[in-house]
Structure 1
């Protein structure tokens, strides 16, 4: 049985949300971001015409498109509308994966016995737009890679069906940039030896690709040939992410405790970014030597930035730790999670800060989460377990 996998992607999601709030923003070049030193979180198709793109410094974007209007994103609205779309799709399909805050995979395999898969997907897309006012594009094919590339080619407000016999003719003329796993560095590397189209890449010897780009060479070759056996993973909303530390000896060392909290925040924030979550609530927990336990929480704008989360966590600790009594345990929890990429933090982050995070995450992804840490999360002298370490 051939698989039927649909990919659905909300068109310029942040922009569309802003236009729902303010109809005067329709039809004009629009940038969603924050501050003159910030970067573009999203931009309208009118702005893209001038070369504006996501993650570009806003100052540069305004030089390319001086008439663009910059609007700060509404985190709460983005989350609510994403949730609304998720519920609409989830109620109508057997298996749905939420890949990010604005894109979804649907496994419709076998449904063509009862109802055409393409028509079914088309009706779901129409229902999303009718009930939320958000434009959405989709593509239907035999696997996730081809359907995702197809959605990108159909935008905006497009719909596309790519049957198995059409996969190679569809993929071959496209730029290798269209393959989801091809980043800027890989594109430059392959371009230098004349590989710029998917057809050329698909004809490369697998061993040669492995020698050039490592273990991902085989996976890249398979995607270029329209081969992808990755399953659609049923969606379930994660409620929270947390970490606790029990001291080997009860302590009253506030400086050391604050450093530990900073290290915990950094570790949890990296996990958020790695798994593509954003948190809206920070909860601090302490347990005194007499086993009295207290918690305090604070709502925050959706983020996965550890410098923000660390500051808030330490502020909460300062407010909750009111007794001059030794502590037995300290814990940190992030709740109110939404599934979305780290780009939502671009509303507040500067280009320099985002570059720093991307560099640190690349190092951690390659060498492990402990490969690089902030100096504030230092090694305790009392030998407590799980204490954060400095790596120089």
Structure 2
């Protein structure tokens, strides 16, 4: 039985959210991002894209390309709430859902054609989402995640597309290789130099040669070019979390050191988030007094994986939680409400320098180990046990 996999993507999600709040922005070139010239573009409208504006571009450069654009700082809390609203609508009626990021979803409808037409059913769901949330959404239905994701990209904006099993190759073949998910710029430049620029040429290339050129990832790229993807739709759950706890050898009331410890714990967990490709939407802090009384407090935050945002939230929670002048036996940090996502989700307060700094730090840690570089505010945590 052929699989029926849908990829749904909210069109220019941040832009669409802002236009819900302010209808005067409809039809205007719009940039969502940092409020200063040193900020970066988190999202932009199709009207701005016509001038060459793209995500992750410095605001200053984007305004040179499109000086008439309106820049809005953005409200990640509002965007997160709208994302949860759409998630609830989809989960209510769909058997298997994977939330791939704040604005995109995979649905496994395999077997539903016995009772419903999968395309018609998905069209009705898309209309329901747009009616109830006010947000435009595009989708593509095909036999696997790769083809449906590429299909959604081709269907946008406000598009709906079905790619049957027999039409997978004719659909993929003429497209440029940049359309393949996870094919980065370095790989594109390498393949382009030897004349491989469309998917058909890449699909016809001997897989052994491709593997020799770009390593084990070459096999996956070749499979995707040939429309092969057996990865399952993994059900999304808010219960996913990562956590860490530290039990003090001697009960303590040294608040500066405890705050330093929290900063170090956050740094480890945030690095783990970024390494595994997650963003967190909830921070939980736990303390245990020396009489074994245990208290926890949590806060919802905009999706992020950045140390400085998570540390601020955790320290604020600790201040509110630690109300008794008693020694502490244990401190714990947990991140929950995880979704797949990348650096680009958090660009409203961050400059290009900030983003580059995180990427550089992670590269150093990846190559030389976590302890190769660390924040001065964090303690060395070799004895902290990570949980997931």
Q: TM-score, normalised by structure 2?
A: 0.90
Deviates more, 1:171-180 or 1:81-90: 81-90
CA distance in 2, matches of 1:226, 1:279: 32
The answer on whether the counterparts of 2:238 and 2:336 sit within 8 Å (CA) in structure 1 is: no
Q: CA deviation at 1:161?
A: 1.3
The answer on whether the counterparts of 1:171 and 1:224 sit within 8 Å (CA) in structure 2 is: yes
Q: Which residue of 2 aligns with 1:385?
A: 383
CA distance in 1, matches of 2:302, 2:102: 15
Question: How many residue pairs align between the two structures?
Answer: 385
CA distance in 2, matches of 1:174, 1:367: 39
3-state SS in 1 of match to 2:123: helix
- Alpha carbons of structure 1 residues 320 and 116: separation in structure 2 relative to 1, 3 Å: closer
Q: CA deviation at 1:320?
A: 5.3
The answer on whether the counterparts of 1:100 and 1:276 sit within 8 Å (CA) in structure 2 is: no
Q: TM-score, normalised by structure 1?
A: 0.89
Unmatched segments (≥5 aa) in structure 1? none
Q: CA deviation at 1:254?
A: 4.3
The answer as to 2:73 corresponding to 1:72 is yes
- Alpha carbons of structure 1 residues 245 and 179: separation in structure 2 relative to 1, 3 Å: same
Q: Which residue of 2 aligns with 1:310?
A: 311
- Alpha carbons of structure 1 residues 387 and 338: separation in structure 2 relative to 1, 3 Å: closer
CA distance in 2, matches of 1:94, 1:85: 15
Q: CA deviation at 1:295?
A: 4.5
CA distance in 1, matches of 2:14, 2:178: 23
The answer as to 2:345 corresponding to 1:354 is no
3-state SS in 1 of match to 2:346: helix
Q: Which residue of 1 aligns with 2:103?
A: 102
Give matches, 1:1-392, under 5 Å. 1-36=1-36, 37-238=38-239, 240-295=241-296, 300-314=301-315, 316-317=317-318, 326-335=327-336, 340-364=341-365, 372-379=373-380, 385-386=383-384
CA distance in 2, matches of 1:27, 1:331: 48
3-state SS in 2 of match to 1:91: helix
CA distance in 1, matches of 2:201, 2:248: 58
CA distance in 2, matches of 1:274, 1:82: 23
The answer on whether the counterparts of 2:80 and 2:302 sit within 8 Å (CA) in structure 1 is: no
* C-alpha RMSD of the superposition: 2.6
Q: CA deviation at 1:300?
A: 4.6
Unmatched segments (≥5 aa) in structure 2? none
